[in-house]
Amino acid sequence: IIILIGSFVGCLAYFLVEILPELRNSRTAKRVVANVARSIDPEKRKREITAQLDIADTVQNRVRLAEECLQLGDWQNARMLYERCLSGPYADDPNFLLGRARAENGLGLFEQARATLEYLIAKNPDYRSNDGHLLYATTLEALGESDKALDEYRVLELSFPGEEARIRYARLLAKLGRVREARETYEGILKREKTAPAYYRRKEREFFDAAKKERAALGD
């Protein structure tokens, strides 16, 4: 019993002195803690940043609050905050324009989102964003411009760092009755699943599972 107790105390001491500090400083641990805190009180960080904005109405604080509003689906406030940021030296800032477009898309203001994205590219021709490109494709699809959306998805199929663009491409193909192409796109997703590293399979699990289900629904 004494040996067992001593071993337990030794292991506990080692964990507290050596392991815990490393865990606390790791990105994964911080992300887990942040996610737990967000699930318990989703509005906490928003309140904290709002209080900081009340004290110091800076572009940095506005952007932080706008990003938090996007996370919470508070599209209206996010759009308003990005509008307040888009002035002076930041009038054509691509990241702020992309944030506004995301908020407009969330509000269902697809024409405005498209206009914002096209303005972004016109003013920042060298700017590149995979998320922005995907947003543009989904906005075109929402506006019923299926051929243009397919063109964008076709490019994203090769360049987007994840499966969302590919599965959206497959879904639109199926919706338009192009079943063979949709089937091939789904099968490409499932082939990638077999060879992808474990971390990628975990990250993209939602889309891999959807691809299996939707591919089966198309039949042979």
Q: Residue 69 and residue 101: Cα distance in Å, rounded?
A: 14
Nearest by Cα to 80 from 100, 64, 94: 100
Cα 161-95-163 angle, rounded to 5 deg = 15
Average pLDDT, the chain: 87
DSSP string, 182-198: HHHHHHHHHHHHHHS-H
Q: Which of 36-45, 76-85, 130-139 has the lowest mean pLDDT?
A: 36-45
Say yes or no to pLDDT of 63 above 80: yes
First to last CA, the chain: 65
CB 214 within 8 Å of CB 186: yes
* Residue carrying structure tokens 């063109």: 151
pLDDT score of 25: 56
| Residue-wise pLDDT tens digits, 92-107 | 999 999 999 999 999 9
Can you read off the two tokens belonging to residue 111?
Answer: 């024409």
Look up the pTM and report it. Answer: 0.79
CB 127 within 8 Å of CB 94: yes
